[in-house]
């Protein structure tokens, strides 16, 4: 790409699509196929996670039947969020582990953390889960949601060690090498826990399409406005 490409100041953003949450030219609804999964999906989104263009939460929820996205800072309990009784012990929450924790999980693996280490019956606990909570936002927004919702501590804390790099590449600065987008993390977990090897790839497809369109849009040359 040339360095002298001058981008015009951004126009006011158009109304995002109510389903996939993207601006009209990036709408990916036609690419979203609903998957029926055993596990339920609940995404908690920080109200300031406003990356309408590159955010991935709704691309994931738009592919999992019955998935919920809740935008806010705090909620009283899992049951309140779901609108029904739920056993927090049978729900997992994916929260970025410390470097040391991630290192304990085999590469390409997923584990349940106890207070200090991976639970010895991690696999059994994972097999028994009813649903997964994902926290969507920047690292600091995710931390805020974590500390403001004490009920999350009652859930099983899941740590993943992805065996792939985020497709965001250099578009987004991630705090750590193993950081991946909400959709990539979710696709990884669902692929593993649903016992459907193709699921991860299918869930990732709309994200790849989004990045392709987003990059193409940026490559379009700026309109030349004749001087008067
Ligand atoms: Zn859409």
3-state secondary structure of 77: coil
Backbone angles phi, psi at 182, to 5 degrees: -55, -45
Residues 6+ apart with CB under 8 A from 131: 39, 40, 41, 42, 86, 90, 91, 92
Please report the beta strands in the chain, taking only residues with DSSP state E, as ranges in sequence order: 40-45, 68-71, 91-94, 109-113, 131-136, 156-161
Rounded to the nearest angstrom, the distance between the alpha carbon of 32 and the centre of ligand 1 is 9
Rounded to the nearest angstrom, the distance between the alpha carbon of 27 and the centre of ligand 1 is 4
Neighbours of ion ligand 1 (CB under 5 A): 17, 19-20, 27, 29
Backbone angles phi, psi at 142, to 5 degrees: -65, -40
Per-residue pLDDT of the chain (228 residues; tens, 9 = 90+): 555 677 778 777 778 888 888 888 889 999 999 999 999 999 999 998 767 788 899 999 999 999 999 999 999 999 999 999 999 999 999 987 788 888 999 999 999 999 889 999 999 999 999 999 999 988 889 999 999 999 999 999 999 998 888 877 766 665 555 578 899 999 999 999 999 989 999 999 999 999 999 888 887 665 555 655
Rounded to the nearest angstrom, the distance between the alpha carbon of 29 and the centre of ligand 1 is 4
Rounded to the nearest angstrom, the distance between the alpha carbon of 20 and the centre of ligand 1 is 4
Beta pairing, strands 156-161 & 109-113: antiparallel
CA atoms of 155 and 91, how far apart (whole Å):
6
Rounded to the nearest angstrom, the distance between the alpha carbon of 203 and the centre of ligand 1 is 16
Rounded to the nearest angstrom, the distance between the alpha carbon of 95 and the centre of ligand 1 is 27
CA atoms within 13 A on the CB side of 35: 24
What's the chain's Rg over C-alpha atoms? 19
Rounded to the nearest angstrom, the distance between the alpha carbon of 8 and the centre of ligand 1 is 25
Instruction: Identify the DSSP state of 118.
Output: B
Q: What is the pTM of this model?
A: 0.86
């Amino acid at each position: 790409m040339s360095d002298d490409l001058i981008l015009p100041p951004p126009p006011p953003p158009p109304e995002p699509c109510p389903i996939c949450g993207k601006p009209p030219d990036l709408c990916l609804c036609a690419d979203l196929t609903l998957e029926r999964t055993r596990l339920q999906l609940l995404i908690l989104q920080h109200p300031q996670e406003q990356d309408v263009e590159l955010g991935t939460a709704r691309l994931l929820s738009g592919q999992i039947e019955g998935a919920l996205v809740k935008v806010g800072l705090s909620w009283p309990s899992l049951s309140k969020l779901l609108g029904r009784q739920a056993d927090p012990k049978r729900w997992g929450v994916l929260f970025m582990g410390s470097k040391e924790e991630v290192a304990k999980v085999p590469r390409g693996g997923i584990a349940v953390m106890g207070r200090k280490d991976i639970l010895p019956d991690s696999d059994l606990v994972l097999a028994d889960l009813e649903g997964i909570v994902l926290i969507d936002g920047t690292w600091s927004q995710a931390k805020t949601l974590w500390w403001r919702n004490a009920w999350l501590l009652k859930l099983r804390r899941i740590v993943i060690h992805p065996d792939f790099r985020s497709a965001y590449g250099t578009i987004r600065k991630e705090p750590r090498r193993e950081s991946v987008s909400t959709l990539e993390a979710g696709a990884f977990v669902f692929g593993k826990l649903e016992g459907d090897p193709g699921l991860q790839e299918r869930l990732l497809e709309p994200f790849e399409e989004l990045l392709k369109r987003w990059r193409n849009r940026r490559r379009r040359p700026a309109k030349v406005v004749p001087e008067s």
